Chains A and B, each alone.
Chain A
């Protein structure tokens, strides 16, 4: 699955997208990212699956596009 990172999350990862496969649901992907990039825990973010915001754990397949979205502050 293609995972997209925005704003400060992209800066933590060092790129704006990365392939991750084999995650069955959004919680397990989130747990993996929080462990690989501990600084994620300092940034509040929302998750979208195929451009739809999710508010609870959802099942994922390898063809999904997942976006990790922090709010922006600048004006």
Chain B
């Protein structure tokens, strides 16, 4: 049940025929684990919190550094050296006190993933490590969880939804290339336009809401590639490899 405060807060959602009170309750009853509280994490967490996801877990082991501030807008100079998860939760709680936040300050291993993922409906990948992405993928496949993928490179971003309803294609169906996992640049190595993770993380939050509400066409079996310099988009279709 939504409280009177929530009915007011989410009134612009509730006005939409596609959402209404029933849809907003679905959002409130949903739980999402966001892995990575960096660039993608800041934008996706801000919108998931604003839109009223009932339970949001945030997993990261990193502390806030000066070079994060160019794009990770949940953090300020007063937060330097502090844990990202702790500061993100402090800011987001203030944004929407109705959300139940769970802190996971740790490095994601396969063992940890198997312990933590069952507590959430959906998993959102906002990491900057290909190795971690394979761990997320394989755990989601093992547990039958859907995960929303986002990743960025300089001015370009990729978004997809993997293992949707435990039937859709997985990250390994798109990139069965784990042996090359150390050959890719993170933002630290390659550089990234400050606004890019904001755009891509917002699209990831959009996919989460669509999945919860059963709205529109989810990016399952589709890889969206967006280039911010010329707004070219690609929507690449791919199939599940059994």
Contacts and interface: CB of A to CB of B under 8 A. Distances in A.
Interface residues of B, number: 43
Nearest to B38: A75
Given A7-B153, A52-B237, A74 B177 contact: no
A16 interface: yes
A75 B154 CA distance: 11
B127 interface: yes
Given A72-B157, A75-B36, A75-B187, A51 B227 contact: no
B151 interface: yes
A58 to B, nearest CB: 14
Contact of A7 (B40, B126, B156, B179): B156
A12 to B, nearest CB: 13
A53 B187 contact: no
A69 interface: yes
Nearest to B184: A73
Contacts of B184: 8, 70-73
Contacts of A46: 174-175, 177
B183 A42 contact: yes
B152 to A, nearest CB: 4
A67 B40 contact: no
Contacts of B241: 55
Interface secondary structure of B, over-half rule: mixed
B236 interface: yes
B153 A73 contact: yes
B230 to A, nearest CB: 8
A38 interface: no
Contact of A8 (B152, B153, B158, B234): B153
Interface in B47-84: none
Contacts of A73: 128-130, 151, 153, 184-186
B128 A53 contact: no
A71 B238 contact: no
A8 B183 CA distance: 10
11 contacts: A7-B153, A44-B177, A48-B234, A48-B236, A69-B225, A73-B151, A73-B185, A75-B128, A75-B150, A75-B151, A75-B152
Given A44-B183, A75-B126, 8 more contacts: A67-B234, A71-B174, A72-B151, A72-B158, A74-B39, A75-B40, A75-B127, A75-B129
